[in-house]
């Protein structure tokens, strides 16, 4: 098989695990976290781009005034 491939001038990009281990190269391994970051989760029946109205409409305390910091001093 290897002789036929050499005569035909074929090449192998060595993208698999076994090929890289045999050749002593770094193996194509990782956590795959980058792939999972692109996944969007949503609940069926809800709009995908619907903002969370509970968070947006909740009253936010003025934290600076609780600590005695005036807005002009920022």
The CATH number assigned to the domain holding 9 equals 1.10.150.390
With a cut of 70, which residues of the chain have pLDDT below it? 28, 31-32, 47-65, 69-74
pLDDT at 43: 75
- Work out how many domains the chain is built from and give that number: 1
- For residue 57, being part of any structural domain is answered with no
Residue 71 lies in a domain: no
Q: Are 42 and 52 in contact (CB under 8 A)?
A: no
In a domain, 4, yes or no: yes
Determine the distance from the C-alpha atom of residue 10 to the mean position of all C-alpha atoms in its chain, rounded to a whole number.
Answer: 35
Q: What is the pTM of this model?
A: 0.26
pLDDT at 32: 67
- The DSSP secondary-structure symbol of 25 reads P
Q: What pLDDT sits at residue 11?
A: 84
Which structural domain range is residue 26 located in? 1-41
Measure the CA–CA gap between 18 and 14, rounded to whole angstroms: 9
Output the CA torsion 62→68→70→74 (10° steps): -90
Whole-number pLDDT of residue 56: 59
């Amino acid at each position: 098989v290897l002789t036929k491939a050499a005569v035909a001038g074929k090449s192998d990009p060595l993208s698999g695990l076994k090929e890289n281990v045999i050749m002593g190269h770094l193996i194509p391994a990782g956590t795959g976290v980058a792939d999972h970051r692109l996944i969007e989760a949503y609940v069926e029946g809800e709009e995908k781009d619907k903002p969370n109205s509970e968070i947006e409409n909740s009253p936010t305390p003025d934290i600076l005034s609780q600590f005695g910091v005036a807005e002009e001093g920022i």
